[in-house]
Structure 1
């Protein structure tokens, strides 16, 4: 249906207004499309290599849990967010909106809780000098924290929905995926997001304290080792085992520390924009600013796509297996058995049996 703008004779449609607004999200759509492809490939490799090629352990279970949350966001969260970007005034799929918001909140919450558990496990291992959590317990804890994450963010399934948005054109309203109309002016969204912010703040405090104590412990041990200047005589086997254990512990701690840092960094732009909006009512007034805001609001997808690069950087075996797997996939894709010619040279006697076939014949399998 077409409507006339009061200020001029131009005829507008909701489709035209949607296309105009979606143009400001082109940078965000491109950014998320790249992250989606990179994240799907990278997390598939993590799930395959750590799940099929590496032995089961607490560390590998934590990595598999993180990669599962990342894969869910790349496979469901990002594509739905892209649709929302391209339909800023015409998103009217309420079920899809609820799936989008719940998936993003659930995978982010699951990752956050997993990182807290990992930090506590590293704290116990490095700072307290106790044994790492057993594999069975690690898997049990992962299942429990996944259930807690799903329960914690579940109210968004009720709050999220179709939000009616006004446009600059009289009599034309659009629809977007946000807090649904019936809850938009109630206290429930504020209560919900305040409680989520509190959980995130507590998690960040735990992460910062745990890794600060771990870092100070490692620094103190290195200092004491250098100051002592002497070593206790032990067998070569004992020294080798201890050195291997320390290297493995250090690599694991480094991996999870980098993943935690990336998780926190990826949320900074999104959080800052949301706080700015809440405190000052900030809204972009230029095309460039709106593009930057759209990209910044999706900054949290960075961790979902780039965590596999951290695993590859810190684990040479994972890197080696992944490269071989990708090469094999490429070779298999390039090989088309239907176009592989196999040539046979026939003898005169054989050729006489096939008069319509040349002496040198070929067929394609």
Structure 2
């Protein structure tokens, strides 16, 4: 045991064996529940987000929804595979942090990925708002969605980089006897910034930015809800005449459950001919194009099947027109129903993100307003403190659960992936 510092009859010692015993004791009494909770979310998040990325990347058409969901999955996977294991390591070695660079990078990456998710969710809300509340205006394309994601990453870096400076190894004194302490090292605010206002300023800027985004999200989804309630059944029921007229003046955005090998996809719907001539052919279609291609293909096949033996009589033509109009209305209802369903799914993802961060933000505010709050807690209180402090992990791990619950075809693709994996496993054995 070596004497590290002596001041005013107080002795600060450096004894690795003693620190190791204290670290293990604190882990067993305080951090173990949080460790298990984080480990469970890590497993769920890694598996779930990997499946989401695979399915949406390989099976979904290039739509705005696909771009945003893929971006969220990538951000969550980075957190799952990098920052969450680092957090587990920190809990195991709470008083024995030795790598300041790893500490800085993990904190920076955590803030950055969460900021990226916030901006992406804002882009989703704007896309949903325009498609439902401003349907006659130009809608967001897959290219626009990619631009929003890239801009979000750049903004996230701008707002998160101070973490590379203010975080690091913080030395603390752990009491072991009256006026006798041992020195421990934690991954917290670096010693040189503990007594400055920089960490507080950094936290205020982050909280203010997230608050503004949350307000924008609440306003956007409130407007969407009001619009859906106000329109009622008329929102889901348009005549085929209105549909044909509207399709020439605007394109609806965002659809769900459209796959690369979907049997209902393909064809060149007449309803999009003018649009294709004006905008040229592109592999990255908007959600409206993909949806309308699918729906018109359904209509054509149904009409062809029912009218295969029809002649050219006027009565049969009128019957054909009536059936086509009925199918158009039904298809429009189905399309709008899917649009509302995916809006609800993305709203739940946004709501989970916001709710999961509220406890964390409260803890952070308390930490700066009342510095002595945590030391005054009992061991049980400290257990709940650290449990709540990691509430934000829920969002990055449970998003795949929401996708699975809300999308029947996503569940179907998951089952296909499982069967494929089982067959591959059996063939190798």
Render the CA deviation track for 1:37-81: whole Å, top value 9, x for unaligned: 000000000100000111111110000001111111111111000
Name the residue aligned to 2:104. 98
Name the residue aligned to 1:209. 219
Q: CA RMSD in A?
A: 2.3
Q: Decide whether the 8 Å contact of 2:27 with 2:91 is kept in 1.
A: yes
Render the CA deviation track for 1:111-146: whole Å, top value 9, x for unaligned: 001011111111111112235311112112211211
Change (3 A) 1:223 1:250: closer
Q: Decide whether the 8 Å contact of 1:113 with 1:145 is kept in 2.
A: yes
1:297 to 379, 386, 389: 389
SS at match of 2:361: helix
Cα distance in 1 for partners of 2:407, 2:150 equals 25
Name the residue aligned to 1:173. 183
Cα distance in 2 for partners of 1:116, 1:247 equals 22
Name the residue aligned to 2:164. 157
2:421 to 329, 342, 346: 329
SS at match of 1:54: coil
SS at match of 1:92: coil
What is the TM-score when the length of structure 2 is the normalising length? 0.72
2:38 to 21, 25, 32: 32
Output aligned runs, 1:125-204, within 5 Å: 125-129=131-135, 130-169=137-176, 170-204=180-214
In the TM superposition, what is the alpha-carbon distance from 1:285 to its structure 2 partner? 2.4
Name the residue aligned to 1:309. 401
In the TM superposition, what is the alpha-carbon distance from 1:333 to its structure 2 partner? 3.4
Output aligned runs, 1:48-63, within 5 Å: 48-63=54-69
Change (3 A) 1:174 1:44: same
In the TM superposition, what is the alpha-carbon distance from 1:166 to its structure 2 partner? 1.4
Q: Decide whether the 8 Å contact of 2:238 with 2:332 is kept in 1.
A: no
Cα distance in 1 for partners of 2:215, 2:330 equals 37
Name the residue aligned to 2:312. none
Matched, 1:84 2:90: yes
* Runs of 4+ displaced beyond 6 Å: 223-226
Change (3 A) 1:78 1:301: same
Name the residue aligned to 1:13. 18
Change (3 A) 1:291 1:333: farther
Cα distance in 2 for partners of 1:48, 1:318 equals 11
- Point out where structure 1 has 5 or more consecutive residues left out of the alignment: 338-365
Name the residue aligned to 1:108. 114
Change (3 A) 1:232 1:50: closer
Matched, 1:287 2:379: yes
- Point out where structure 2 has 5 or more consecutive residues left out of the alignment: 4-9, 242-324
What is the TM-score when the length of structure 1 is the normalising length? 0.85
Render the CA deviation track for 1:211-233: whole Å, top value 9, x for unaligned: 1111011000117679xxx9858
1:75 to 66, 72, 81: 81
In the TM superposition, what is the alpha-carbon distance from 1:178 to its structure 2 partner? 0.9
SS at match of 2:175: coil
In the TM superposition, what is the alpha-carbon distance from 1:275 to its structure 2 partner? 2.2
Cα distance in 1 for partners of 2:211, 2:334 equals 36
In the TM superposition, what is the alpha-carbon distance from 1:147 to its structure 2 partner? 1.5
